[in-house]
Chain A
Amino acid sequence: MPELLIELFSEEIPARMQGAAREALKKLVTDGLVEAGLTYGHAEAFSTPRRLTLVLTDLTAESPTLQEERKGPSVSAPEKAIEGFLRATGLRLDQLEKRADKKGEVWFALIEKPGRKAPEIIAEVLDRTIRNFPWPKSMRWGNGTLKWVRPLHSILCILSSEAGTEVVPLEVEGIAAGDTTAGHRFMAPARFSVTNFEDYAAKLKAAKVVLDPAERAEIIWHDASQLAFAQGLELVEDKGLLAEVAGLVECPVALMGAIAEDFLHLPPEVLQTSMKEHQKFFSVKNPKTGRIEGFVTVANRETADHGATILKGNQKVLSARLSDARFFWEHDLRVVKTEGLEGMGAGLANVTFHNKLGSQAARIARIEALAREIAPHVGAQPDLAAEAARVVKSDLRSAMVGEFPELQGLMGSYYARAAGLPEPVAAACKDHYSPLGPSDAVPSEPVSVAVALADKIDTLTGFWAIDEKPTGSKDPFALRRAALGVIRLVLENGMRVGMRMQFFIPMLGHLISIKTQGKGLLARSAIETIKSLGFPREASLAQKSIEAAAVHMSDELTNIAINEGMTKCDDLLSFFHDRLKVFLKDEGIRHDVIDAVLAMPGNDDLTLVVKRAEALSAFLKTEDGTNLLQGFKRANNILTQAEAKDGVEYSYGADPKFAESDAERALFAALDAAEAALAPAMQAEAFAEAMAEMAKLRSPIDAFFTAVQINAENQIVRRNRLNLLSRIRQICLSVADLTKLEG
């Protein structure tokens, strides 16, 4: 069966777009062909900087013929109706067929949709693919209207089989498909024709083009490692860079050079970043010293001097780049020595963080205040946390970070050490951005934790205050990541705090400063008052504390505090709960288990929530757990129905004296014992223990249901039993809201 080979030959395709483009080409073409009735065996796509290639094996030569039968009007129908039917089917009367029907003879049209030849279908599909290709950015050129990532020069589209090779006739905006392509731009620029994929790949190889990006990556990695190895050095792995470089060359040639002595004292991250970002160089490390001492550049050609000129040029460019980096480094160190790290960040007053949330300097002041508050909760010294908060963003004003934004934080820690600041402060510069993702390490140094939390909470409450919440896939300020960061910082450091309180004070600060346009300094005393009153977990008590504080506040402030502040904190908390669910789901804890726990008081204490959820999750995995849950559900159902029917709530002291059976009396005893044991266990947050106590109820409850009919004739006995069920419900619900559980 025929093989289809397509090559779209253009000017240089950005390396970062090639992977997605290969996939898109494969999908669009194969989907289109299959939809049109063709089938194929295997599809594979390739790319180089100048070409996108697709090969399909075992393509059917044509699509199958389709038969369609259409029923027309009666033979005796008026002429007009029959004419209409002929027009609709495109047939003549003598091509119709008479068939007997219930109502007499009827015209039938047998329409045969002939199969189409593969070339016709391919031409259509490829034309559509080229015109609708999902490039992230595309352009026009010359006088044309066609859009492609860069000017498209030629289309190769051939079908080959044992019978020979045919060009699929196709023309897109003046570019006619053919059977030719070109080799390496400099080493083998002549065009040549090919007969099939094997011939194509072989001729390209001869024309100094390695078609397969994976093969190019392999060559680069192998050759570069060998070069390093030969000198007793080792290549620093960088998969992203490898993929990018493989997308920049058709004929990879690795060349290694040394970094001049004058630059070896620069931080290794600076060397690595500068070489990678600007020059796409791989770093070469000396395993003995751990220093970056060399580089590997990948050229796109072989030369008569074996790359000597190219290497010399690259070396020169690197020296210029590293001179810049050294200039930045020395400049920054000078600034830090004379003005301190805080002085380096002085200019942050002129940098806007967000137009509704003030300057970076204002933000830093808020983070400092917050870090001071949080410090005691994480075992950090408040003054040290505040000192760290004041300087952790300073490096944003350094020359080095200005040039390499990805070095933010890291440079701060170098400069903090140079400024003689305490080690925890230096560490916080680097670590307060963490964790950046679900697998990124969480800092544990108390000062880092305090500042990291303060930074993220300030951001979250700020954006909540101005109603810039993430929606759908849009999260331009990375607030989901910030919330997950807070969650992981709290959990992994075992912090015990009510998040509502942690949110409320900064939220109020944001709201007041927005409403008063930054003139809300007076509000500070009001905030202090609220703080001194504490901010209990329960919303109603919180409201009371605000009302008490309101004596000292203007009406406007009171309103903000009560209405907006509380609502927004609750909203932010439920956003946290959603993130927590996602996080715990990955840890294997079911959605409904978390819901059952979140319905309990103290749900803004994340560590508590997780502790409870873990215990409940483990409990539900035991046989006792699932059975007890069934027992609870049964009790709850009966009770709910009876309560609905009778219009009363059965929560009033069941009395053992009305118990009629042993099972009933045993349940009374078991509930008494459980109640006595549960309360202290819950108090001590010994959830596993509490669950174990609860598990003891399983057999008495089961026995009770077997032995006793709740809806007894005797109304006193019935009511007593319902009240007994109510005790089951009460005890079970004191552990978690089991009504939320599925199954």
Chain B
Amino acid sequence: MADAPRSFQEIILRLMTYWASKGCAVLQPYDMEVGAGTFHPATTLRSLGSRPWAAAYVQPSRRPTDGRYGENPNRLQHYYQYQVLIKPSPPDLQALYLGSLEAIGIDLGLHDIRFVEDDWESPTLGAWGLGWEVWCDGMEVSQFTYFQQVGGHDCRPVSGELTYGLERLAMYVLGIDHVMEMPFNDPASPIPLKYGGIFRQTEEEYSRHNFDAANTEALLRHFEDAEAECEKLLAFPAEDANSGKRIIMAHPAYDQCIKASHLFNLLDARGVISVTERQAYIGRVRALAKKCADAFVQTEAGGWVAEAEA
């Protein structure tokens, strides 16, 4: 077994190496603000349709309501998730997952790893799956889900999704009590950096922004714009006039859906959405996600095959 990692980034690197060795394409984060790794099109869209897929990536994630000005030992409005998606889910996915824990230095002979029922549902994505939260000595270190439906579509085949909350997992492995104290690079580096050295200030800035400063009128407008844009893009005919090709703009439309979702999260953090409105907003984002899923399964990556080939 590998020796203990020394920093946050080493844990990420080990996960990268491990999943690469298991045949996953190691992707980069999606370049938009999202609430969780699941929103990356490499998960949401690629879990749809019949084509096999295996990808792993880090996804910076934002949850504006979780901002605590950098003071809370483990709550952040910006954090990292490590995400693995394999379609179809391999029969030994649990064993593969446990291997990844060993790879980051968790001695399975000394710790108590448990799979505790936790069904996953994303009302904004119109998605659900069954699985567990994985406990290591009573602490939730990952979410393990077999996707059953995404964007209202049945997943056939089923994807297996693993989500690691990186900060929490790393703090546990490194024995750190406050996230800001966690070494980001190797403590023996010429310029050792701690998590707080990189993110404490931004946590403060964004907490203030999210709770007090974000312009709610503009956010509401942007939400409406993103919604309209998403629908407009999907309304284009499949035939592209320039290239003469069949091009359905599922991804650009989905970008607008992601945008709407994040804007909703910001509005929620600003406390301007009432409980009843909340459901309505979630429903609007879900409607977009569903339309994007409908569009994606009409594309090649989504398993669509031209009739001549079929």
A535 to B85, alpha carbons, bound, how many Å? 68
A233 to B110, alpha carbons, bound, how many Å? 28
Known: A320-B74, A352-B275. A139 touches B130 (CB 8 A): yes
Chain B residues within 8 Å of A281, by CB: 138
Chain A residues within 8 Å of B116, by CB: 12, 248
Chain B residues within 8 Å of A139, by CB: 129-130, 146, 148, 158
Q: Per a CB cutoff under 8 Å, which of B109, B130, B136, B157 touches A137? A: B130
Q: A: which residues have CB within 8 A of B? A: 11-12, 14-16, 49, 137-143, 149-151, 153, 186, 248-249, 279, 281, 297, 299-301, 303-305, 309-310, 312-314, 316-318, 320, 323, 350-352, 355
B88: Cβ under 8 A from any A Cβ? yes
Residue-by-residue, is B75-112 near A (CB-CB < 8 Å gives 1, otherwise 0)? 00000000000001111001000000000000111111
A304 near B146 with CB under 8 A, answer no
A300 near B114 with CB under 8 A, answer yes
Measured between C-beta atoms, what is the minimum distance from B102 to chain A in Å? Answer: 11
Chain A residues within 8 Å of B136, by CB: 313
Residue of A nearest to B279 (CB): A352
A304 near B148 with CB under 8 A, answer no
A142 near B119 with CB under 8 A, answer no
B89 near A141 with CB under 8 A, answer yes
Known: A139-B129, A279-B138, A317-B137. A151 touches B110 (CB 8 A): no
Chain B residues within 8 Å of A305, by CB: 110
B89 near A317 with CB under 8 A, answer no
Q: A141-B88, A301-B112, A303-B112 are in contact. List 10 more A-B contacts (CB 8 A).
A: A49-B115, A138-B130, A142-B88, A142-B90, A150-B131, A153-B91, A304-B109, A309-B137, A316-B137, A317-B138
B110 near A350 with CB under 8 A, answer no
Nearest 5 CB-CB pairings of A with B: A313-B137, A14-B117, A12-B115, A314-B138, A299-B112
Measured between C-beta atoms, what is the minimum distance from B97 to chain A in Å? Answer: 11
Residue of B nearest to A323 (CB): B73
Chain A residues within 8 Å of B110, by CB: 303-305, 309-310
B172: Cβ under 8 A from any A Cβ? yes
Chain A residues within 8 Å of B73, by CB: 320, 323
A142 near B275 with CB under 8 A, answer no
Beta-carbon contacts under 8 Å, B134-188 to A? 136-139, 146, 148, 155-158, 160, 172, 177
Measured between C-beta atoms, what is the minimum distance from A555 to chain B in Å? Answer: 33
A249 to B115, alpha carbons, bound, how many Å? 10
A313 near B138 with CB under 8 A, answer yes
A141 near B112 with CB under 8 A, answer no
Chain B residues within 8 Å of A310, by CB: 110-112, 137
Chain A residues within 8 Å of B117, by CB: 12, 14-16
Chain B residues within 8 Å of A303, by CB: 109-112
Chain B residues within 8 Å of A140, by CB: 146, 148, 155-156, 158
Q: Per a CB cutoff under 8 Å, which of A15, A151, A355 touches B91? A: A151
Measured between C-beta atoms, what is the minimum distance from B178 to chain A in Å? Answer: 11
A142 near B89 with CB under 8 A, answer yes
B146 near A314 with CB under 8 A, answer no
20 pairs, CB–CB < 8 Å, chain A vs chain B = A12-B116, A138-B130, A141-B89, A142-B91, A143-B88, A143-B157, A149-B130, A151-B146, A186-B108, A299-B112, A303-B111, A309-B137, A312-B137, A313-B136, A313-B137, A314-B137, A316-B177, A317-B139, A323-B73, A350-B275
Measured between C-beta atoms, what is the minimum distance from A272 to chain B in Å? Answer: 16
Chain A residues within 8 Å of B155, by CB: 140
Chain B residues within 8 Å of A350, by CB: 274-275
A141 to B129, alpha carbons, bound, how many Å? 10
Known: A137-B119, A317-B137. A142 touches B111 (CB 8 A): no
Chain A residues within 8 Å of B238, by CB: none
Measured between C-beta atoms, what is the minimum distance from A120 to chain B in Å? Answer: 29
Chain A residues within 8 Å of B276, by CB: 352, 355
Chain B residues within 8 Å of A316, by CB: 137, 139, 172, 177
A262 to B139, alpha carbons, bound, how many Å? 21
Known: A12-B132, A141-B146, A351-B275. A297 touches B114 (CB 8 A): no
A304 to B107, alpha carbons, bound, how many Å? 11
A309 to B4, alpha carbons, bound, how many Å? 15
B113: Cβ under 8 A from any A Cβ? yes
A316 to B275, alpha carbons, bound, how many Å? 35
Measured between C-beta atoms, what is the minimum distance from A352 to chain B in Å? Answer: 5
A387 to B234, alpha carbons, bound, how many Å? 56
A281 to B139, alpha carbons, bound, how many Å? 12
Measured between C-beta atoms, what is the minimum distance from B295 to chain A in Å? Answer: 24
Chain B residues within 8 Å of A138, by CB: 130
A487 to B117, alpha carbons, bound, how many Å? 39
Chain A residues within 8 Å of B131, by CB: 150
Known: A142-B157, A151-B146. A309 touches B89 (CB 8 A): no
Q: Per a CB cutoff under 8 Å, which of A11, A248, A318, A320 touches B94? A: A11
Residue-by-residue, is B202-235 near A (CB-CB < 8 Å gives 1, otherwise 0)? 0000000000000000000000000000000000
A297 to B116, alpha carbons, bound, how many Å? 14
Measured between C-beta atoms, what is the minimum distance from B89 to chain A in Å? Answer: 5
A304 to B110, alpha carbons, bound, how many Å? 7
Q: Which of B114, B115, B117 has the most CB of A within 10 A?
A: B117
Q: Per a CB cutoff under 8 Å, which of B111, B138, B275 touches A318? A: B138
Chain B residues within 8 Å of A151, by CB: 89, 91, 146
Measured between C-beta atoms, what is the minimum distance from A527 to chain B in Å? Answer: 27
A309 to B112, alpha carbons, bound, how many Å? 9
Chain B residues within 8 Å of A137, by CB: 119, 130
Measured between C-beta atoms, what is the minimum distance from B306 to chain A in Å? Answer: 23
Measured between C-beta atoms, what is the minimum distance from A497 to chain B in Å? Answer: 35
Chain B residues within 8 Å of A279, by CB: 138
A12 to B118, alpha carbons, bound, how many Å? 11
Chain A residues within 8 Å of B158, by CB: 139-143
Residue-by-residue, is B272-295 near A (CB-CB < 8 Å gives 1, otherwise 0)? 001110000000000000000000
Q: Which of A141, A279, A300, A316 has the most CB of B within 10 A?
A: A141
Residue of B nearest to A189 (CB): B95
A646 to B119, alpha carbons, bound, how many Å? 75
Known: A141-B89, A142-B89, A142-B90. A11 touches B115 (CB 8 A): yes
Measured between C-beta atoms, what is the minimum distance from B161 to chain A in Å? Answer: 12
Chain B residues within 8 Å of A297, by CB: 138
Measured between C-beta atoms, what is the minimum distance from A316 to chain B in Å? Answer: 8
A150 to B158, alpha carbons, bound, how many Å? 12
Residue of A nearest to B138 (CB): A314
B113 near A186 with CB under 8 A, answer yes
Residue of B nearest to A350 (CB): B274
Measured between C-beta atoms, what is the minimum distance from B54 to chain A in Å? Answer: 13
Measured between C-beta atoms, what is the minimum distance from B107 to chain A in Å? Answer: 8
A197 to B116, alpha carbons, bound, how many Å? 28
A150 to B94, alpha carbons, bound, how many Å? 12
Q: Which of B74, B111, B119 has the most CB of A within 10 A?
A: B111
A12 to B132, alpha carbons, bound, how many Å? 8
B91 near A313 with CB under 8 A, answer no
Chain B residues within 8 Å of A318, by CB: 138
Chain A residues within 8 Å of B115, by CB: 11-12, 49
Chain B residues within 8 Å of A12, by CB: 114-117, 132
Chain B residues within 8 Å of A300, by CB: 112, 114
Q: Which of B107, B114, B119, B177 has the most CB of A within 10 A?
A: B114
Residue of A nearest to B90 (CB): A142
Chain A residues within 8 Å of B112, by CB: 299-301, 303, 310, 313
A304 to B157, alpha carbons, bound, how many Å? 41
Chain B residues within 8 Å of A153, by CB: 91
Q: Per a CB cutoff under 8 Å, which of B74, B89, B139, B160 touches A313? A: B139
Chain A residues within 8 Å of B157, by CB: 142-143
Residue of A nearest to B50 (CB): A143
Measured between C-beta atoms, what is the minimum distance from B146 to chain A in Å? Answer: 5
A185 to B117, alpha carbons, bound, how many Å? 17
Measured between C-beta atoms, what is the minimum distance from A537 to chain B in Å? Answer: 40
Chain A residues within 8 Å of B172, by CB: 313, 316
Chain A residues within 8 Å of B177, by CB: 316
Chain B residues within 8 Å of A355, by CB: 276
